[in-house]
């Protein structure tokens, strides 16, 4: 048995290492890579894994369980309240409209009303795992498409609880059935209860998790934290997840729902970030395993035998969900590009369908053959989604979305009048842009968020939609005649990519770029840049100056201390960049620089001249200016 487990681990890890980088290199994303890996090593292609893949699927579902636990941890009550409109409005309408339409179609195809309703509620849900993973990889989580998709998925995750509680009431005429896999379903503690009592039991289990999370888990975490043993805290975090999983399984509920609720309960806990950091590594690995297992579980023999029916169902459900989502996106005033990303990203059926279909089968609501067909449809929609996202990005959006330039005349005007290009107009770039505009400097703004582009255009700014790292877009924006480019993209990787593109094609441009943190600063420094701006440095020092003044320090003394700190920190950062490859040397150098800074600040503190606030002298200002002025 141990040998089999090791062989299985070898197969799954090898498949992931081979196919995921290949998919990423082809621009298909990691999710499609995992799915392809599962299909290739599955029983219907190379046959490296067979029926044991079902057992792996149950194990891999812990990836989804942990992901929803982490999602729950992010959902503080204030965030839920802020998103209440999109969660209840957009999410509620999506589930309701889709469920009703699917129910109507199922009844036309011959299903009873209660069977059709069960199918509609199941197929209305989308995949949290695939959608969030894909949006994160594309850097789209902070766009309106990403935020609205998150709201819809959040509503769906919460909605599964009442849906599961409601399902036993649909078992009006229970069918005698066999499981889709040919095995009898394991009974639960409540499987022999009448429908109404099962519903109460489900709601009771949910209530128990909420109460226990507040009264038992927090004191437990507090006690474990006092031991100061990191590995024990990690074990406790896993115990919480596994314990809830077992409880949910005993009452026939989805473990993912239980852990999601536990995460929400612990969202305001002081141990939230520690739990996140402990669970994250397990989540990433098991989520990848889940995608592989989904690929391996696709029953190609059933698909081949029923290719017409399954193909029509897959096409029909994805088109129906896309149409509903597009309509809702337009109603909620999303731009064309964001609406397409939003609709295509949520067009599949989600992983909770596996749970719901299993539960429906246990209740005898649908026949085994129907369940098997629906499982194949669900798996196919999940497998197709990453590919459809790529098609939407590469082929559809460039033709029907916000145009990257309005016409040639506008482009010529931009080339003549705007010496500065700003790539990214979010919270960082928009301050720089408004400052330059207020000082009479013309700017060309490039941004990948089409909704933001539309708003900027309404404000009278000439804005181009598109990926600023593309050479052709920079060319149309007048980079060959511009004097400067300000790199203010939200993703550090994109900033680095743009810097390299500009250095290669437009070496004459002055490059001013933001840096997210020290590692990002080091990468940009390696590119030979002189003008790198850490986005929190100056704001933090302004706060520090105000803190000193409120504590009784003189204005000049506080301001000079901030200048001294910044100069020393910038110099120290360059020294640290040179030794960052050697961890011990880096730590020793960092300690040395911290000690030097403290000595320097204390020396200023003892300076009688500064104590009396007789500063702002010309010589000192000259020295400071000379020290901070960029060298050509």
Domain boundary among 366, 400, 434: 400
Identify which of 460, 420, 463, 427 has the alpha carbon closest to the alpha carbon of residue 443. Answer: 420
Residue with tokens 């179609």: 105
Cβ–Cβ < 8 Å for 251, 202: yes
Nearest Cα to Cα of residue 354 among 205, 210, 185? 185
- 27 falls in which pLDDT band (50, 70, 90)? low
Q: Are 356 and 117 in contact (CB under 8 A)?
A: no
- φ, ψ for residue 533, nearest 5 deg: -125, 115
pLDDT at 134: 81
Q: Phi and psi dihedrals of 591, rounded to 5?
A: -65, -40
Residue 12 lies in a domain: no
Lowest mean pLDDT among 133-147, 221-235, 406-420, 445-459: 406-420
Least confident of 178-192, 413-427, 566-580: 178-192
Decide which of 417 and 488 is more confident: 488
Same domain membership, residue 430 and residue 543: no
pLDDT value for 244: 80
Asked, for residue 412, whether it belongs to a domain, the answer is yes
In-domain check, residue 47: no
Other residues' Cβ atoms within 10 Å of the Cβ of residue 516: 19
> Residue 124 — very low, low, confident or very high, per pLDDT cuts 50/70/90?
very high
Tell whether 48 is covered by a domain.
no
Q: What pLDDT score does 317 carry? A: 95
Q: How far is Cα 553 from Cα 565, in angstroms, rounded to an integer?
A: 16
What contacts 595, CB < 8 A, 6 or more positions away?
Answer: none
Strands 443-447 and 463-465 turn out to be parallel
Residues 581 and 497 in one domain: no
Which segment of 154-158, 192-196, 208-212, 388-392 scores lowest on mean pLDDT? 192-196
Residues 318 and 419 in one domain: no
pLDDT in tens, 199-247: 777 778 778 877 887 788 878 877 887 777 777 877 888 888 788 877 7
433 and 570 share one domain: no
Q: Answer for the pair 143, 402: CB distance below 8 angstroms, yes or no.
A: no
Cross-sheet strand order for the sheet of 531-534: 463-465, 443-447, 420-423, 484-487, 510-515, 531-534
Please give the pLDDT value at position 186: 47
**Least trusted range by pLDDT, from 199-208, 265-274, 499-508, 526-535:** 265-274
Burial of 628 (0-12, 13-18, 19+ CB in 10 A): exposed
Same domain? 102 vs 188: yes
Report the candidate in 198, 201, 99, 103 with the shortest Cα–Cα distance to residue 155.
99
Q: Are residues 380 and 517 both part of a single domain?
A: no
Between CA 474 and CA 480 the distance in angstroms is 8
For residue 597, name the pLDDT band (cuts at 50, 70, 90): low
Distance, CA of 388 to CA of 475 (rounded, Å): 29
Question: Within 10 Å of residue 69's Cβ, how many Cβ atoms?
Answer: 28
How far is it, in rounded angstroms, from Cα 603 to Cα 362?
A: 76
CB 218 within 8 A of CB 266: yes
* Mean pLDDT, rounded, of the chain: 76
372 falls in which pLDDT band (50, 70, 90)?
A: confident
Note whether 489 and 340 are same-domain residues.
Answer: no
* Cα–Cα dist 455/457, whole Å: 5
- Assess contact for 146 and 140: CB atoms under 8 A: yes
Q: What is the pLDDT of residue 618?
A: 52
Residue 410: inside a domain:
yes
Q: Is the pLDDT of residue 25 over 70?
A: yes
Q: Which domain holds residue 309?
A: 56-400
Q: What is the pLDDT of residue 123?
A: 94
User: Three-class SS string for 295-347?
Assistant: HHHCCHHHHHHCHHHHHHHHHHHHHHHHHHHHHHHHHCCCCHHHHHHHHHHCC
> What residues have CB less than 8 Å from 10, skipping those under 6 apart?
none
CATH code for the domain in which residue 88 is found:
1.20.1530.20
The answer to whether residues 102 and 317 touch, using CB atoms and an 8 Å cutoff, is: yes
In a domain, 21, yes or no: no
- In angstroms, how far is the first alpha carbon of the chain from the final one? 67
Give the CA distances from residue 94 to residues 86, 159, 337, 373, 469, in Å, rounded to whole numbers and listed in that order: 11, 12, 19, 24, 35
Q: What is the CATH number of the domain that holds 471?
A: 3.40.50.720
- Check: CB of residue 382 under 8 Å from CB of residue 130: yes
Indicate whether 45 belongs to any domain. no
Say whether both 187 and 99 belong to one domain.
Answer: yes
pLDDT per position as a tens digit, 97-111? 999 999 999 999 988
CA-to-CA dists, residue 215 to 203, 210, 257, 266, angstroms: 18, 9, 19, 11
Instruction: Provide the pLDDT for residue 596.
Output: 67
* Number of structural domains in the chain: 3
Tokens of 398: 């460039």
Are 503 and 626 found together in one domain? Answer: no
**Who wins on pLDDT, 358 or 486?**
486
Answer yes or no: do 162 and 222 share one domain: yes
Considering 502, 534, 566, which residue would you say is the last residue of a domain? 534
User: Are the C-beta atoms of residues 124 and 95 closer than 8 Å to each other?
Assistant: yes
User: Given 506, 534, 562, which residue is the final one in a domain?
Assistant: 534
Which token pair is 514?
Answer: 């933001």
Asked whether residue 412 falls in the same domain as residue 363, the answer is no
Residue 310 shares a structural domain with residue 414:
no
SS3 category, 351: coil
In a domain? residue 618: yes
């Amino acid at each position: 048995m141990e040998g089999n487990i090791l062989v299985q681990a070898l197969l799954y890890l090898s498949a992931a290492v081979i196919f995921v980088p290949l998919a990423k290199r082809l621009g298909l994303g990691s999710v499609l890579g995992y799915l392809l890996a599962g299909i290739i090593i599955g029983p219907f292609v190379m046959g490296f894994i067979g029926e044991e893949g079902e057992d792996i699927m149950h194990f891999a579902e812990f990836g989804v369980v942990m992901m929803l636990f982490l999602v729950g941890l992010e959902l503080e009550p204030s965030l839920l309240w802020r998103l209440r409109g999109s969660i209840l409005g957009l999410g509620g309408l999506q589930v309701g409209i889709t469920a009703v339409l699917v129910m109507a179609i199922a009844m036309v195809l011959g299903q009873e009303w209660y069977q059709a309703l069960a199918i509609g509620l199941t197929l209305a849900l989308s995949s949290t795992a695939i959608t969030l993973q894909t949006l994160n990889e594309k850097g789209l989580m902070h766009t309106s498409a990403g935020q609205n998709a998150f709201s819809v998925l959040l509503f769906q995750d919460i909605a599964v609880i009442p849906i599961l509680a409601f399902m036993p009431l649909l078992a009006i005429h229970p069918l005698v059935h066999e499981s889709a896999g040919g095995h009898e379903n394991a009974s639960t503690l409540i499987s022999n209860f009448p429908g109404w009592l099962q519903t109460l039991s489900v709601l009771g289990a949910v209530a128990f998790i909420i109460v226990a999370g507040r009264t038992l888990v927090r004191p437990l975490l507090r006690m474990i934290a006092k031991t100061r043993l990191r590995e024990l805290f990690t074990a406790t975090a896993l115990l919480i997840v596994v314990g809830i999983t077992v409880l949910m399984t005993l009452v026939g509920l989805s473990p993912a729902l239980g852990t999601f609720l536990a995460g929400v309960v612990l969202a305001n806990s002081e141990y939230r970030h520690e739990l996140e950091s402990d669970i994250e590594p397990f989540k990433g690995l098991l989520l990848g395993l889940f995608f592989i297992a989904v690929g391996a579980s696709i029953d190609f023999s059933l698909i081949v035998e029923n290719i017409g029916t399954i193909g029509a169902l897959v096409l029909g459900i994805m088109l129906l969900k896309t149409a509903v989502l597009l309509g809702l996106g337009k109603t909620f005033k999303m731009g064309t590009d964001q609406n397409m990303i939003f609709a295509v990203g949520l067009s599949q059926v989600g992983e909770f369908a596996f749970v719901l279909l299993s539960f429906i089968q246990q209740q005898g609501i649908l026949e085994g053959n129907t369940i098997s067909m629906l499982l194949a449809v669900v798996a196919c929609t999940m497998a197709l989604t990453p590919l459809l996202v790529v098609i939407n990005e590469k082929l559809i959006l460039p033709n029907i979305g916000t145009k990257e330039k309005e016409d040639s005349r506008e482009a010529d005007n931009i080339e003549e009048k705007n010496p500065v290009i700003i790539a990214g107009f979010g919270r960082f770039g928009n301050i720089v842009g408004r400052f330059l505009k207020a000082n009479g400097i013309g700017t060309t703004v490039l941004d990948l968020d089409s909704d933001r582009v539309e708003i900027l255009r309404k404000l009278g700014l000439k804005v181009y939609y598109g990926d600023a790292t593309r050479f052709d877009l920079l060319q149309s924006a007048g980079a060959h005649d511009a004097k400067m480019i300000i790199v203010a993209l939200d993703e550090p990787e994109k900033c680095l990519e743009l810097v390299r593109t500009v250095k290669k094609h437009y070496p004459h441009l002055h490059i001013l770029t933001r840096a997210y943190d020290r590692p990002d600063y080091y990468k940009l420094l390696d590119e030979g840049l002189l003008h790198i701006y850490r986005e929190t440095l100056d704001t933090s020092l302004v706060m520090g100056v105000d803190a000193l003044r409120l504590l009784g320090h003189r204005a000049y003394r506080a301001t000079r201390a901030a200048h001294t700190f910044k100069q020393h920190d910038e110099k120290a950062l360059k020294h640290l960049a040179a030794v960052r490859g050697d961890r011990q040397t880096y730590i020793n150098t960092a300690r040395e620089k911290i000690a030097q800074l403290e000595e320097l600040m204390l020396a200023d503190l003892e300076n009688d001249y500064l104590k009396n606030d007789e500063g702002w002298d010309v010589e000192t200002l000259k020295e400071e200016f000379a020290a901070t002025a960029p060298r050509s």
